[in-house]
Structure 1
Amino acid sequence: MPKYEEPSGLPAPLLSDPEMIGACRERDFPRIFSLAKRRGGFHASLIARRCDLTPSRVGEVMKSERQIRDIGVIERVADGLRIPGRMLGLARREWETPEVLRADPDHVGQRGPVAAIDQRPTFVSTLPSGDLESIIAAASGPRLSPSTLRALHSSIEDYWRRDDQHGGEVLRPAVVGQLRYVVEMIKEASGSDVRRDLYGIAAELARLTGWTHFDARQYSQARTYFAEALQLAKAIDDRQFMANVLACMSLQATYENRPADAVALSTAAQDTARARGGTPRVMAMLAMREAFAHASTNNPSAAHAALAEAHRQFERTSDADLDPAWVTYFDEPKLIVDTGIVHSRLGEAATAEPLIADVLRRGHRGNQRGRAFHAFWLATTQLQRGNLDQACHTATVALESAAAVGSERVTGHLREFQQRLAPFGKEPAAVMFEARLRAMLS
């Protein structure tokens, strides 16, 4: 009988398989472990031993009864299964560097440098060009300065702009990589002010990552990153940002058909912000989230009360307010269109239509997802009012914007609109819209 040989790592064909790539990108460890077992020769006990986990924990992860969130455990999985760091949003692992590039202090000036020179054509040709930046960064280490922190904040603003324009799916690996980089910087940072800034930056990156998962309707992964953002913000007692994350989780709960959770999260968000004197703009945005939550429970009186509170708080805003950067998007047009969406969710189409139409006419400054989203809600109100041709025309506007941005959330709304067209299936306008939707989805 041939002797069994343990695999040294996952085979290259598996690591290049789209299913494994997707599982690693989403940090879907139940799927990663299952693929490692079925196609990589790693039985559960071997996974446990290689990754320094207990067999029972590996079993719980494979059955989705337990999650892996700790960065140290994720690194052990990468090293134990030999998954390249970039696939899991980590820095390049030490074992990925060819031996010839590793410094050996005991042989400096002897065989080491000679071997490096002799073998240079071999390893240089196999290294991705992007690794040069990683090598230089590893040699110099992070340089913490006010300009570094400003650059990190600027990159977050740029990520949000690109997310609005194109969707977050393509951005996510870069955002996750930067998040892990900042977490490593926190470990080495000295000085309370610098550490606080880094915690805040990490919290923003974690929320952004959660948002990209939410927008892609990958709800489990979104919750994982939202929870991480909460913990990072809690570490510096940034109650307003914690409230912001809770508001994101409330919105997600409305999409998951968990209306009671949506209400609880939105009220918790307001309580959290109020405890630290949330600015009027922050409180207005959070009240609007509560209105969305009550609308999802079809509770008009509670939704109207939350809308009134949102408008009352917004009227108190002032240029002198020290608003966090993440809430500046909540301007007057956003207040108006969100008000219209709440009325639409409640079936109050006559009130909703002029509000949404007004904001849609103003434009969206490059925010294709916002334009698609608002066009969908305007089409919905028009259909509620019996204006089929107008509704299908507006929904086509949503289609055109949706085609320019990768957002499964918006695509899901368009499918929802298609379902509402079922009673009008033979009408020319409905037939034309459905044909265009199929073309976009294909």
Structure 2
Amino acid sequence: MATAYEPRELPSALLTDPEMIRACRTRDFAGIFTLVRRRAGIYGSRIAGLCGMTPSRVGEIMAGQRRLAHIDVIERVADGLRIPGAMLGLARRPWELPADSEVTEVAQEPDEPPAPARAASAPLSTELDGILHRVAGQKVSRSALTALQSSIEDYWRRDDQHGGAALRPAVVGQLHYAQQLIDRTGEGPLRRGLMTVAAELARMAGWAYFDARQYSTARGYFAQALQLAQRVDDRQFIANVLSCLSLQATYEGDAREAAALASAAQDTARHTESPDLVMAMLHMREAFAHATLRSPAECHRAIAKAHTHFERHGSGPAPQWVRYFDETKLIVDTGIALAQLGEHRQAEPLIAEGLRREHRDQQRGRALHAFWLASTQLHNGALEQACSTADSALDLATHVDSPRVVGHVREFHTRLNDHASEAPVVAFEAKMRAAFG
């Protein structure tokens, strides 16, 4: 049971009702309180408790015998009944974006990057220490390598479906285990295979921390992945890790560094065997950086190169880790690059088509792309359509644990500031608060 002064969310159907919007715009509190009573079942005494007034005063207001003019009392009504500030001509109220959706770089775990090489191999806990001790005497076999490779594929699938937060302890634990196996394996194909697996686990750990917006920790694991890939001279994988660092730099607002890293990745992969699909992905990462720098010519040139390499690749061989970059990904990434560049008319149909094609299990990717689509629709003047798309994106966002997705929610919400009193925005914000609250 709610306490007398506990705020309560009004139904979005009421907040978006034209009669309620008119009453709020004119600060007709008699009409507001009457609608709240009829449509939300909140009677005068409850309204009084929520808004810090006496029941008799609320009764007089509802009867038209008194009016509210003092701004502090109007703010109490907005906060008590959860009426968005813009509807009453106020600034956004503190509760309009839930605290749960705040994203900081140190949200869940200490933001301390591991040492790039051996220091990161220390056991995570006494329990893990015991497990490693028990397996220490066992001979490393090809089946152990196969099992590790299989677990990586499963981790990536689950990461795309649910986000990486819950996977980080398992991935880091597998990485430490792989390093223990490397230490007990002599030179040869098996040791090289274990180093390749460890490099992918380190990259995945970096990716999981990047998705959590814990960027310093992510860089530490990416550095570890680079060192392992260098030890087996896997130039394509080195390029892959550099591309991850490029994308992270774009998110951190350092677009020049992002462009430099993407170029370095291309130089690393250019003369490797069957590089076209890898090069297509790398040129798209470069396009993101140039779009952020607002460099149209360079961005379009990078997009064109990405498409050329993709068409040249066809169905040829490619490393397992880049096979996610299919035609659907090429289309949606092209749309996102154009949106970052500010070419929203050209971007919208591409992102919409990519979203239509994407597999339903790719929930995090679909959530991210849906918010990009909503943003382009908003820039193109389709407010109601943008909020409808964002509603769908919220449905997806609630099924993944990804601060990066939440960051996109916040960015889209900020772009709605100029339309805060419009019915579609009020409805979206109500759904957003319910989703994060």
Does structure 1 residue 411 correspond to structure 2 residue 378? no
1:223 is matched with 219
1:375 is matched with 370
1:17 is matched with none
2:176 is matched with 180
Does structure 1 residue 196 correspond to structure 2 residue 192? yes
Residue 347 (structure 1) shift = 1.2
Q: Work out whether residues 182 and 198 of structure 1, in 8 Å CA contact, stay in contact via their aligned partners in 2.
A: yes
Residue 258 (structure 1) shift = 0.4
Report the identity percentage.
55
Does structure 1 residue 396 correspond to structure 2 residue 370? no
Q: What is the CA–CA distance in structure 2 between the aligned matches of 1:142 and 1:387, rounded to whole Å?
A: 63
Q: Work out whether residues 176 and 209 of structure 1, in 8 Å CA contact, stay in contact via their aligned partners in 2.
A: yes
Report the aligned-residue RMSD.
2.2
Residue 333 (structure 1) shift = 0.5
Q: Work out whether residues 347 and 376 of structure 2, in 8 Å CA contact, stay in contact via their aligned partners in 1.
A: yes
Does structure 1 residue 163 correspond to structure 2 residue 135? no
Residue 142 (structure 1) shift = 4.2
Deviations along 1:271-306, one digit per CA (max 9) or x if unpaired, are: 011142452111100011100111111111100000
Does structure 1 residue 265 correspond to structure 2 residue 301? no
Does structure 1 residue 293 correspond to structure 2 residue 289? yes
Q: Work out whether residues 402 and 411 of structure 1, in 8 Å CA contact, stay in contact via their aligned partners in 2.
A: yes
Q: Select the structure of larger CA radius of gyration.
A: 2
Q: Work out whether residues 166 and 404 of structure 1, in 8 Å CA contact, stay in contact via their aligned partners in 2.
A: yes
Q: Work out whether residues 247 and 265 of structure 1, in 8 Å CA contact, stay in contact via their aligned partners in 2.
A: yes
Alignment of 1:32-431 (within 5 A): 69=115, 73=119, 85-87=123-125, 92-93=128-129, 134=131, 138=134, 141-277=137-273, 279-319=275-315, 321-431=316-426
Counterpart code for 1:386? G
Q: Work out whether residues 239 and 275 of structure 1, in 8 Å CA contact, stay in contact via their aligned partners in 2.
A: no
Q: What is the CA–CA distance in structure 2 between the aligned matches of 1:406 and 1:326, rounded to whole Å?
A: 22
Deviations along 1:52-78, one digit per CA (max 9) or x if unpaired, are: xxxxxxxxxxxxxxx6516754677xx
2:429 is matched with 434
User: Structure 2: which 5+ runs fail to align?
Assistant: 1-104
Q: What is the CA–CA distance in structure 1 between the aligned matches of 2:344 and 2:106, rounded to whole Å?
A: 42
Q: What is the CA–CA distance in structure 1 between the aligned matches of 2:290 and 2:241, rounded to whole Å?
A: 18
SS of the equivalent of 2:313 reads coil
Deviations along 1:373-393, one digit per CA (max 9) or x if unpaired, are: 110111011001000000000
Q: Work out whether residues 203 and 222 of structure 2, in 8 Å CA contact, stay in contact via their aligned partners in 1.
A: yes
Change (3 A) 1:72 1:303: closer
Counterpart code for 2:324? Y
Q: Work out whether residues 114 and 220 of structure 2, in 8 Å CA contact, stay in contact via their aligned partners in 1.
A: no
Q: What is the CA–CA distance in structure 2 between the aligned matches of 1:342 and 1:261, rounded to whole Å?
A: 17
Counterpart code for 1:400? D
Q: Work out whether residues 240 and 278 of structure 1, in 8 Å CA contact, stay in contact via their aligned partners in 2.
A: no
Residue 150 (structure 1) shift = 1.6
Deviations along 1:88-145, one digit per CA (max 9) or x if unpaired, are: xx86346xxxxxxxxxxxxxxxxxxxxxxxxxxxxxxxxxxxxxxx38x715634422
SS of the equivalent of 1:397 reads helix
Q: Work out whether residues 425 and 431 of structure 1, in 8 Å CA contact, stay in contact via their aligned partners in 2.
A: yes
Q: What is the CA–CA distance in structure 2 between the aligned matches of 1:312 and 1:188, rounded to whole Å?
A: 45
1:57 is matched with none
Deviations along 1:307-348, one digit per CA (max 9) or x if unpaired, are: 0000000011133x3310000000000000100111111111
Change (3 A) 1:254 1:71: closer
SS of the equivalent of 1:366 reads coil
Deviations along 1:226-245, one digit per CA (max 9) or x if unpaired, are: 01000000111100000000
Change (3 A) 1:414 1:139: closer
Change (3 A) 1:433 1:224: same
Q: What is the CA–CA distance in structure 1 between the aligned matches of 2:106 and 2:307, rounded to whole Å?
A: 43
Q: Give me the TM-score of the superposition, normalised by structure 2.
A: 0.72
Q: Which has the higher contact order (CA 8 A, sep 6+)?
A: 2
Q: Work out whether residues 91 and 177 of structure 1, in 8 Å CA contact, stay in contact via their aligned partners in 2.
A: no
Residue 146 (structure 1) shift = 2.5
How many residues align? The count is: 333
Counterpart code for 2:242? L
Q: Work out whether residues 207 and 229 of structure 1, in 8 Å CA contact, stay in contact via their aligned partners in 2.
A: yes
Change (3 A) 1:73 1:302: closer
Deviates more, 1:404-413 or 1:189-198: 189-198
Counterpart code for 2:115? R
Q: Work out whether residues 288 and 310 of structure 1, in 8 Å CA contact, stay in contact via their aligned partners in 2.
A: yes
Deviations along 1:26-47, one digit per CA (max 9) or x if unpaired, are: 4645xxxxxxxxxxxxxxxxxx
Q: What is the CA–CA distance in structure 1 between the aligned matches of 2:241 and 2:165, rounded to whole Å?
A: 20
Q: Work out whether residues 121 and 176 of structure 2, in 8 Å CA contact, stay in contact via their aligned partners in 1.
A: no
Q: Work out whether residues 144 and 189 of structure 1, in 8 Å CA contact, stay in contact via their aligned partners in 2.
A: yes
User: Structure 1: which 5+ runs fail to align?
Assistant: 1-21, 30-66, 77-84, 95-133
Counterpart code for 2:243? A
Change (3 A) 1:339 1:72: closer
Counterpart code for 2:334? T
Counterpart code for 2:202? A
Residue 440 (structure 1) shift = 1.9
1:109 is matched with none
Counterpart code for 2:143? S
